[in-house]
Amino acid sequence: MSVQIIMDHSGESRFEFDPANEAAVAKATERFKELTGLGYTAAEKTGPGTSRKMTEFDPTATEMLFMPRLVGG
Amino acid sequence: MSFGSGPVMFVMIGFDEGRDDVNAIGIHHPHAPEAGPAAGFEALAALGAAESESEAKAQGLLKEWLSSEQLVQYERNRWFEVVGSKTGKRYRIQERKQQNVYELDAEGRPTRGWCFMPKGSLATGDVMLGQKIALETDEKGAMKVALRFWSEMGLRRFVRWVAATWGRLRSPAARARYKQVK
């Protein structure tokens, strides 16, 4: 199972999906586009403590994190 | 400006004994039921519990995404260090929601403080994780929005330079050179 994690006021919201299920992947792709369209930054966990920024949906990514866009304080 | 008859959110959270149109979490509504002190405390307790839960979830997520070295640093000091993806500079992220990112020099001393965070009302762990990912994957983008809130003062930098120079002059190698010249 793969997971999309969205940072929010409750800590996080998780959406799991089966990468072998076409419908689930389509929904995950749609969620990715919607969130990045809203300005969220997507990152894929690539190893312990390492990650990469995602600019487009990758169905092979097993753990994706979405965080709201950065602002200066 | 008119507030009309719709709900208006007040900044203050609590209850106002003098008004019966302000409920326990500060929502102004003309038809809101009267909120007494007990209801106010219950609502505050519920808010506190929700905040604790979100903080705990965010802490769990942060720890999942930290490297083992960062996790050791964090559990020991309540901060961890990251390396910027573009410059290779080291940054220290402290356990706070803002004004908590420090750029470090080669000796690990803070030289500048930077303030940036993911937008919105997020738990501390989420803010720290957002800062870590931003610096490790897109340092340039993070620095574009970051605001500097602190930098090493000129006098302090001068004192450090004097101390370093004094240390070099007193080193055995420097003394040997001095004796040779003499």
ipTM, two decimals? 0.95
CA gap B11, B61 in Å, rounded? 29
- Whether the per-residue pLDDT at A48 is higher than 80: the answer is yes
Mutant choice from B70, B93, B129, B132 vs A, greatest count of A C-beta within 10 A: B129
Q: Which of B54, B146, B149 minimises the CB distance to A9?
A: B54
- Whether the per-residue pLDDT at A7 is higher than 50: the answer is yes
Whether pTM > 0.90 for this model: the answer is no
Question: Looking at residues B124-145, what average pLDDT do you find?
Answer: 97
Q: Which of A5, A51, A70 minimises the CB distance to B118?
A: A70
Amino acid B41: pLDDT: 78
Shortest CA distance from B80: residue in chain A: A49
Tokens matching residue A13: 């919201």
CA gap B10, B22 in Å, rounded? 9
Contact: B141, A70; criterion CB under 8 Å: yes
Answer yes or no: are the C-beta atoms of B151 and B115 closer than 8 Å.
Answer: no
Question: Looking at residues B132-154, what average pLDDT do you find?
Answer: 93
